[in-house]
Chains A and B, each alone.
Chain A
Amino acid sequence: MVTLKELTHRYDGLGPGHRLCAGCAASIVARQVLLASDKPVIAASATGCLEVGTTIYPYSAWKIPWIHNAFENAAATITGVETMYRALKKQGKYKEDVNFVAFGGDGGTYDIGIQALSGALERGHKFVYVCYDNEAYMNTGIQRSSATPFRASTTTCPAGEVIPGKPQHRKDLAAIIAAHHIPYVAQCSPHNWRDVVGKAEKAFATDGPAFLNILSPCHRGWRIPMVDSLEIARVAVDTCFWPLYEVVDGKLKITYKPKEKLPLIEWLKMQGRYSHILKPENEHLIEEFQTEVDSEWEKLLARDGTSL
């Protein structure tokens, strides 16, 4: 895998000059992924923070060819680009070797974009889809998505007098993607650049669709100090709320097992969106959430090293 020193010499396709929040993990995620490519990259973004924050006309923070089409169609758009690339190559009209990547938030991926993504994966295009998962519709102002974790407070599932935050558990997106039997699926976290860059390298090297689900802490939505974005990602991984693993040609491999699995409360108590859950009357909710995280982790451990 590429060294940090080598990375400093790679072409940095995004920024400086974007307008994402200080402490936003999305730009870190995007740059970690782009730096992993050994070839020129063409990128697409779904509507969302990354798109809005990087391209207010007449400015653009993208130094690579980049396209935004709409919210739910980043996968359809980038595979349209990739198909044209193949068409022109076949006709001898284009010589370059290029990698293709689409970035979508959790809203644009777990929810509104899942149909277009599923179709693109099934068709088998050679492209990388990156979900930067900040666990809610942050661009429109912190509304719940199907990636929003249990009992988090958002503006459309606020912790109220009667309902203490989002009643549902999140969707297991990586498993849904893996069920498409594509060659490479991974879950990663930006607090460990080796994790994201290493998996992105494998994703770009894959001859077919590859998918990366990357945790992208949002200090506005999670109600954390902006300096804590990467630290909270580390705690998410060490509590096994956000396990790091990959599924290569159907075989699951956990890529990081914490030496000491931290209790979930360590992650929850860092976040303002969970302040209500710390009240004594809500203790059972923490237990329920912990049970769910434990159960998912146990299932993952049981599948470690096996073919799905």
Chain B
Amino acid sequence: MTDIKQINEMIERESSFVQLLTMEMEKVIVGQHHMVDSLLIGLLSKGHILLEGVPGLAKTLAINTLASCINAGFSRIQFTPDLLPADLVGTMIYNQKTGDFVVRKGPLFSNFILADEINRAPAKVQSALLEAMQEKQVTIGDQTFKLQEPFLVMATQNPVEQEGTYPLPEAQVDRFMLKVVISYPKKDEETKIIRQNLGGTFPTANAIMSPADIIRAREVVQQVYMDEKIEKYIVDIVFASRYPADSGLAKLKDLISFGGSPRASISLAKAAKAYAFIKRRGYVIPEDVRAVCNDVLRHRIGLTYEAEAENVTSEEIIADILNTVEVP
């Protein structure tokens, strides 16, 4: 096993781009530091992100800027009720000259995908996207194509409108590593946004990295050291969401219909490692786990009708769990 000192030095060296990337993104995106951090966590830990927020909070701009910074491909797909799976993955079209069917790849063949308003498309289209996210490959006709690396899907959901939407089933929401809830910018940030937009020349992000750099960074993130006590802490948190009464949280028993899956534990560990990397540390500490806990668990904890009637949110449940589970 590599010595922790070496890992730390390597992380110090390899994570230096994080600050540069963040600064480049901040040239375009005002505020929304949490969203930018979450994008990086998803990018570095091969996880996909579900963003929830009202329109106009720079969701599209953020992922577009990230793609520009990394010099990678970007596709935006607006999900609508009449969208078909072939509109995402591509299809076979007939070439009259050659008399053959040729593959026409869909917008999924890109590095960064923005699936805008994913809950507007019917289940078969959602399934096609989620399958591609999971398998990292797409089959068109009789040919299977590997998707490009890095491959990051950022799907958005509008929490306000519910009519004419197809809410993602729990099993499919679980495929997203993080669910990030975006709020409005602060007053001073909004003032800056107005000035930026009225200034005539909108700032653009420069390409400072290549997709190969990200792939290498991902390998480094995997080497971030996670002690068994941190692993136990993660398991304790996830188990407390499943069996709250066993963790001294009997009051949550009637509020939780189902807790985090093993995929939640995996995601929590991966995200905590990526967060430690962003913070330029070669090892994970409990702060890292707590920092990503909300984004990893909020869509993986099912609420009962009683919880909904009492206006209890999954964030409150997570806060209760974190305040009860002993930190190592």
**Real binding pair:** no
B residues at A contact (CB < 8 Å): none
A residues at B contact (CB < 8 Å): none
